[in-house]
């Protein structure tokens, strides 16, 4: 049902004053979008913590269900473009807040919707893992 295409990424390089951890997480957010766009479940499996809390459309979705959905996605059904992203690290934890637009294509019609998201990453044994991802549609 879901296919994500990254047509632009908001700054995958290190930003001034940003910690190495924040830069790593920023890059991983880009990798995540790329992996989704290519139905690359192996990469997503490495990025997502096994106990990831994934909230979409007000529902909690397990990692298994999410990966299954990405795997069965059909091309051109959905396109996501990251718009803004700020990363803040607190020791081994990173909070990412940003916005993205999502275009659903069905039966020749496309519907654009903008979302604000909050992702939480934790560095486990040297690897940053996505432990929570949630998004809310922007009302304006």
Partner 1 sequence: MKTLMLVALLASVVTSAGYAQDADSDVEAKILATEHMWGQAYVSKDPKALERILDDAFVNVDSDGILQTKAEVVAEVRTSTVVQFLTESMVVHLHGNTALVTGIFQLKGVDRGKPYAQRERFVDTWFHKNGQWVSIAGLVTRIGQ
Binding site residues, partner 1, CB under 8 A: 49, 51, 53, 55, 57-60, 88, 90-93, 95, 97, 114-118, 120, 122, 124, 131-132, 134-139
How many C-alpha atoms does 87 have within 13 Å on its Cβ side? 29
Name the minimum Å distance from CB 1 to partner 1. Answer: 16
What is the Cα–Cα distance from 83 to 70, expressed in whole angstroms?
22
Closest CB to partner 1 among residues 105, 118: 118
Q: Which of 137, 34, 77 is nearest to 69 (CA)?
A: 77
**For partner 1, the closer CB: 37 or 98:** 98
Distance in Å, CB of 122 to partner 1, minimum: 5
Nearer to partner 1, 3 or 52 (CB): 52
At 129, phi and psi to the nearest 5?
A: -120, 140
Q: How far is the CB of 30 from partner 1 (least distance, A)?
A: 20
Which residue has 């795997």 as its token pair?
Answer: 71
CB of 128 to partner 1, least distance (A): 12
- Strands 109-124 and 78-90 come out as unpaired
- DSSP type of residue 5: -
Nearer to partner 1, 38 or 116 (CB): 116
């Amino acid at each position: 049902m879901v296919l994500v295409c990254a047509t632009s990424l908001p700054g995958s390089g290190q930003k001034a004053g940003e910690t190495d951890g924040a830069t790593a997480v920023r890059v991983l957010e880009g990798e995540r979008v790329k992996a989704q766009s290519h139905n690359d479940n192996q990469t997503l499996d490495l990025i997502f913590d096994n106990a990831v809390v994934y909230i979409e459309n007000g529902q909690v979705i397990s990692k298994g269900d999410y990966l299954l959905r990405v795997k069965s996605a059909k091309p051109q059904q959905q396109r996501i473009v990251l718009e803004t992203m700020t990363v803040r690290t607190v020791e081994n934890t990173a909070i990412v807040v940003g916005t993205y637009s999502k275009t659903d294509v069905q039966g020749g019609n496309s519907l654009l919707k903008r979302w604000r998201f909050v992702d939480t990453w934790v560095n486990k044994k040297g690897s940053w893992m996505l432990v929570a991802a949630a998004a809310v549609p922007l009302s304006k």
